[in-house]
Structure formats: structure tokens, C-alpha cells
Chains A and B, each alone.
Chain A
Amino acid sequence: MVEPPGSDPLPQATAVPPKRTRISVIWIIPILAAIVAIGIAVQRILSEGPTIIIVFTAAEGIEAGKTFIKYKDVNIGQVKAIRLTNDYKKVEVTAKIEKHAAGLMVQDAKFWVVRPQISLSGVSGLSTLLSGNYIGFDPGTSEQSANIFIGLDVPPVITGEAGKEFVLNSSDLGSLSIGSPLYYRRLPVGQVSGYDLQADGKAVQIKVFVRAPYDKYVVAGTRFWNVSGIDVSLGADGVNVRTESVLAILVGGISFDVPPFVPPGTAAPPDTVFTLYDDRELAMKAPDPFAKHFVLKFNESVRGLAVGAPVSFLGLTAGEVTKIGLAFDPAKGDIRPRVEVVFYPERVIEATGAKQAAQLEAFRQDDQKRRAFIRRLVEERGIRAQLKSGSLITGQLYVSIDYHANPPKVKLDFDQESPEFPTVPSDLADLEAKVGGIVEKLDKVPLEAIGKNLNKDLENLDQTLTSAKKLISNADEQLIPGLKADVEDLHKALGAVERAMNNANSSLLQSSAPAQQELRDALQEFTRAARSLRILLDELERQPSSVIRGKTEASGGVK
């Protein structure tokens, strides 16, 4: 089967080595690795939020890589770097914001450093003691996105709460400060969120924030008043102490309410301007729509009368003093106090019954009738204005309009813009005269002479007492030795008795009955003597003075 060589010249097949390089399946591994790595990188880049710069005055408590930016306690970013600004005056904090919060970075967004804070109105930021400070955030309302912000030095009072801000005009700030509470019917419903001087520097604008849902109680007619501190007033009905809360005493506060006479309205729009009254009374005072002005001229000093002093009509407050000045009368050539008052007829009408009020109201509306009525009161009934002392201690005066018997006749002139109302001299002068009289009488009392006499009497008394003392010591010296002699005599007497007894022993016992009879009598007599002696001794012991003064039956028995 072997082919003969050369008979079939078939060429030899060339052996080609198998293809040296074939792509192995192992390359899937690096490809997968690349896919994973690229995937992570892409995801990282896509989830990258914006980088913002916040400028703070100081970087107290901020640490790069550790301080977070939190909004509603959710981390929305992290501080990456802290450096000084180019002018070295402030601190630039670079922070990376998470992508989901990128939309919050608008122009009026607020940043501030949250640190533990303990103030009169509360304790806040205690969690930062453990976790370190963080940057607080409050979203703004702007649509414009931004990446450079100015950090606040002081945390804003209101962060992201629903409610409304209103502006209160006041002559001064009082003891209010940012964070001072706002009360509605003693419920804390908001806070003072800021204050600023008006552009002309003549008033203060206080911004208050009322939390929802209480903001709906602020209507167009709402009155705000200051409740700072304690309001103590001394009136005819005693001492009134009014305060809203202890907190308000310490940090001040504002209260608001709707006066009853204000018709119910819809909630006021934000930033409505209100007036801040000094106290509740002023704030809630009903406006007096009808005011009648009068001029009073007095013939005496009006010292003690102040603008705002009440004008009382038959004891009811029906107006107030608006101006105090002088009136010069060139014709007579004299000058005297001129007091302008305002009179609110409405208050008098209110004070009467419903039916009468209607009648009076009719009077008020008809000018002619009103004038006639007042003229009759003044010209016929003798109604006059008079200065009266409201308080003897402070000397404050008020104007009293009252009936007076037989005042000088006057004519009311209604043609002037402010008619002059007739006055009568006050009782103050009389009172002064009376007090003067008392003082004069007191002066006449010879106080000096009385004093001298009294002195003399006292001296006499002293002498008397000295004599008495002497007398007593004399008695002591003289009486005691006498008493001693008495006792000695008694002793001797007892000795005699003893001797007599001895004699009796030797003779009497042996003798006959009559002798014994005599002895018995003698013994009885002796017993009586001894009893008397004991009584005397008892007496002497009880009251030694009886020796001098008497009690004759007792002492006579012995002597």
C-alpha cells in the first residue's frame, strides 16, 4: 500500500501551528470589574449635590467633615472645608449639599450654627452637647437658586412654622426682645420675631409672629398691648396687680385681643400694621365717635392738673383734659389758666337706661335741642366746672362738672368753636384756709410753758421718791434692835417660869387640894400666855411691820 516514490508528486501539507492567541472567557472578569467601577463612578457623579459656600462671622463649633447641615433633623449636607475669606474678616464654610436637598438652596435660605442655648425663654439645642454643633437651615421662599449664603449669627425665632407675621408700631421697645412671648387670652401663641427702628428714628417697628391656627384670631380690629412686667395700679377700689405670666415679667410680652365693639372680621393679611398700646385698658378703650370740646377758664392755679386727667360729669368719667394753657384777656388786662377739655356725650347716654338713652340720643342729634338742654343745665340748674383734688397724697386734680347752689349767673356762647364752660372756684382754697386755721391755733398753744411745768413736776416727783427711800432705811435701822430686846425679855420671862416650875415641883405637889387647884389655874394661865406668845411670833414672822403699825390685841398680850 506504500506508494512508489516519485510516481505521484503530491505536495506535502504544511503544518500550521494552532492560533496562538484565543480570547479566553477569563476576560469577562476584568470587563465586569470595569462595569462595576464605572457604574459606581457614574452613580457618585449623578448623586452629587451642589456645593455651597456659607459665610459666617466665626467658625465656632464647625468642623470640616464632621459638621452637618440639618433641616427638620435630617442631614442635608456636610461641611467639607473651612477657610477665611480673602479679607480675613469672616469665615467661608464650604459644604456639600445632598442631591435631594439641592432644590432648597434658594437665595433667601437661612443658615445658622445651632449650639446649646439657655435663656429665660427656654433651653434649646441640648442635643448638640452630645453630637456637636450643627448648621441649622431654614428654606426660603425665593425661586432663584444660589450657592453663596450669609450665615446668621443668631438663630431665627421662627423656622418653617405655619403662621403669619404682623408689624406693631410702638414709641419704644420697652422690655421686649426677640423671643418675647405673644399671648392670646393668656395662651402663648407666638413670639416677637424682630424689631427695627423706623426710618425716621421716631418709632419702633416690632415684628411678631403668630403661629397657625391662632393667626386667624388676628383681625383688622385686633388690639395689641404690652404685658411686660407687673402692672400695679392703686385706685379707689384698692390695689390692682395684673400680670400675664412669670415669663412675661422676666422677658416681656405682648397680648392681643379683639375689643367687643369691633365687628367680627376676616383674618388680617400678613404684615398688617397695628399699634402697640401700653396697657390693656388703653388698647381696649372704645373710640368715642362724638367729641365735644369746651374751654374752661379758672381763676386759680391748675398745678396738679395734667393732660389726660378725667372730666367727671356728676361723678361719671365723661371726658378728659386735652390741653392746659393760659388765656390772656387784653380788655381786662389779666391772664389766667385756660383748660381745654373734650366731652364724650356718648358715655353719658350709655350710663342712662335704654329708653332714656334713646331720648338723649335724639337730643344729641338735634343740635338745637342739645344746645337748649345744655343751656338750661348751666343757666338754670347751676351746672359748673370745678377743679377737685383726686388724691390728697399726690395732689392730682381733675375737672368735676356738678350742680352748685347759687352760682354766679352766666350765658353760654355756642357760637365759638369750643364754647367756654363756666367754672366755679374750687373747694381747695377753703380746705387750705381750714387747715391754716388749725395750724394757727396749734401755734397758739403754749407748748414751751407746758413743757417747763412738766419738767418741774418731774423733779418734784424725784425728790419725793428719794425721801420715801430714806424713810424706809430709817425704819430698818430703828426697829430691828427693838425687836431683839423684845426677844431677850421673852427669854428672861421663860427663865422665870422655869424657876417657878422648879419651886412648884419641890413644894406644891405635896400640898393639899387648894394648892393644886391654884396650880391648875396658874398652868392654864401659863398655857394662854404661851399661845399668845406663839401668835405674836407667827405674826412677827409674817409681817414684821405690825410691830410698828399695830394689831394691838396680839402684841398687848405679851408685854
Chain B
Amino acid sequence: MSAETLSAAEAGLLSCTTCHLLSRPADPANLGHCPRCGTRLVFRRHNSIQYTWALIIAATIFYIPANALPVLTTTALGSTESDTIIGGVIYLYTSGSWPLALIVLVASVMIPLGKLVALAYLLIQVQRGQVRNRHDSTRMYRLVELIGRWSMLDVFVDAFVVALVQLQPLMSVEPGPGVVFFMAVVVLTMLAAQTFDPRLLWDTPRERQAFDG
């Protein structure tokens, strides 16, 4: 594939965002729906860049309390302990189970942050109209979309532990406020990845001016 390849939009064609069927627009004013799956067709998603930016910024804001506030409050034999995500990673590492520490670190800290950075990078490239390596950028986008759900691992473990460890007088585990923010970060980044239109990566600056609004 080369950069010179004609894009569908340039050829006056529409690709379905759901089933990827290529079709002609019904009418220049009203583009119509996909004849196969019925999805409303657009050349490029409306306000894709703005939407994605907004969601990324919101996610970045929530990323701070998600890491600063405790995600788990453990009460064992009268002594209460609150752990943040990083605290848990450090605890796992110091107690010797570094593989677990690595998993938690990657899934709960690095992936959400990586997603935010990757999406921001893609958006900046699209906005500046100079997508350097369209091929790699698209691959990066796919990766972001794919791994998005896995960062819910932490929330999942939290929910499990809270539900299972309820030995009331001896030991109990309660969720901390951090987990809500963490969940918000994951959901917002997933939505951001959804609102981002990867077709923008292939547009030339001239086209982008025509589509974006």
C-alpha cells in the first residue's frame, strides 16, 4: 500500500463504519444508509477530533485521582490498610511476586496511560495534517482499540475481592474511591478510541479541511 492510493472519499465513495461495504452516496446532501447493514453513512465521523480530544482530556483528569486515591481498603484483625494501585504494585513487588506486580503495573498503569498518549499522538498528527507513517499509525490505533478492554482487569479483580473477602469480624475488603475514577478512565479512553475515525489518518490535508467541521 502506498500513500498515493486513492481514498474512497476522494473517489466520491462511502465505506460503512460497521461492515466496511463500499457504496455510492444516495444524494450529496443526504448520504443515506448502508444497503447491507443499515448503518448511517458518513464520509468522516462528525467532529471526530473534537470528541476524541474532549474524552482524552477528561480521561487524563480522572487518571490523577484514580492513582492517588485508594482502590482497596483492607481491614484485617482491626488494622485497616488502604492501597492505591501503585501501592499494590509496590507491595506485590516487595513481597516477592514480581510477575504479578508486572501484570498489574502493565494492565493498570501503563496501558491506560499508553492509550491516552497514543490517541493524543494520533490526533496531533491528524490535526497538523502531516501523518508521517500512515501505516504504523493505523496499526497503533488498532492496538489501542484492541487492548482497551483489558485495562478493566483491575476493576474486575477489585469487584471479585470485595465480593469474596467478607469475613466480617476478622477481615473485610471494601472498594476505595479510586476504583470509580479508574473505571471512568478506562471507559473514557475506550469511548475516545471509538470516536476517533481512523480514516482521518489517510486523508490529505486538503481533504481533511473539507471533511472536518
Known: A29-B188, A30-B57, A130-B78. Contact between A24 and B62, CB under 8 A? no
Q: Could you say which residues of chain A place their CB within 8 Å of the CB of B212?
A: 20
Known: A33-B58, A131-B77. Contact between A24 and B65, CB under 8 A? no
Q: Could you say which residues of chain B place their CB within 8 Å of the CB of A131?
A: 77-79
* Contact indicator B51/A20 (Cβ below 8 Å): no
CB interface residues, B 52-79, toward A, < 8 Å: 54-55, 57-59, 61-62, 64-65, 69, 77-79
Q: How many residues of B contact A (CB 8 A)?
A: 24
- Considering the chains assembled together, what is the distance between the CA atoms of A27 and B54 in angstroms? 5
Known: A24-B47, A132-B78. Contact between A32 and B58, CB under 8 A? yes
* Contact indicator A29/B65 (Cβ below 8 Å): no
Interface string of A1-38 (1 = CB under 8 A from B): 00000000000000001101111101101101110110
* Contact indicator A24/B61 (Cβ below 8 Å): no
A265 beta carbon closer than 8 Å to chain B:
no
- Considering the chains assembled together, what is the distance between the CA atoms of A32 and B55 in angstroms? 11
* Contact indicator A26/B62 (Cβ below 8 Å): no
**DSSP class of A's interface residues: helix, strand, loop or mixed?**
helix
Interface string of A31-70 (1 = CB under 8 A from B): 0111011001100000000000000000000000110100
- Considering the chains assembled together, what is the distance between the CA atoms of A515 and B65 in angstroms? 158
Write the nearest CB–CB distance from B66 to chain A, whole angstroms.
10
* Contact indicator B61/A30 (Cβ below 8 Å): yes
Q: How many A-B residue pairs have CB under 8 A?
A: 63
Partner of B77 from A41, A68, A130 at Cβ < 8 Å:
A130
Write the nearest CB–CB distance from A73 to chain B, whole angstroms.
11
* Contact indicator B79/A29 (Cβ below 8 Å): no
Q: Could you say which residues of chain A place their CB within 8 Å of the CB of B177?
A: 40
B39 beta carbon closer than 8 Å to chain A:
no
CB interface residues, B 81-115, toward A, < 8 Å: 81
| A65 (CB) vs chain B CBs: closest residue | B81
Interface string of B122-148 (1 = CB under 8 A from A): 000000000000000000000000000
Q: List 28 A-B contacts (CB under 8 A).
A: A17-B209, A20-B209, A24-B47, A24-B54, A26-B50, A26-B54, A26-B55, A27-B50, A29-B54, A29-B55, A29-B188, A30-B54, A30-B55, A30-B61, A32-B58, A33-B59, A33-B188, A34-B58, A34-B61, A37-B61, A40-B65, A65-B81, A66-B79, A68-B79, A130-B78, A131-B77, A131-B79, A132-B77
Shortest Cβ-Cβ A-B pairs, 6 listed: A131-B78, A33-B58, A30-B58, A30-B57, A33-B61, A26-B54
